[in-house]
Amino acid sequence: MVKHIEIADTVLRNKIRQQEIHCAGNTRLKIYGLLSCRSGKRMKKANRVFFTSQEEAVAEGYRPCGHCMKSDYLMWKYEFVQ
């Protein structure tokens, strides 16, 4: 997990281009989603973190975004309610 405020923009862009970063999350809400998600793009930089994989995000206790990862979110929600 890499905090957005702790990484330079050029380094971040290079990591995304090299596919070292696959998704982003919100530290306050504990939600992760795709880098292209509109909800994620509106997030404050101070609350944004980046993950190398979805597995890393889940291991850190984050849940899938209900907008950009609808099917994963519904599966998570079903498991959570049970």
| Residue-range definition of the domain harbouring residue 36 | 2-81
Query: How many CB atoms are closer than 10 A to CB 40?
Result: 20
Query: Mean pLDDT for each 10-residue chunk of the chain (82 residues)?
Result: 96 96 97 94 95 96 96 90 66
Contact partners, residue 81, CB within 8 Å, separation at least 6: none
Domain count of the fold of the chain: 1
Tokens of 45: 């930089």
Extract the runs of DSSP E, i.e. beta strands, from 4-69: 23-26, 31-34, 48-51, 63-64
User: What does the alpha-carbon distance between residue 74 and residue 80 come to, in Å, rounded to a whole number?
Assistant: 10
pTM comes to 0.91
16's tokens: 């995304």
CATH classification at residue 62: 3.40.10.10
Note the pLDDT of residue 80: 72
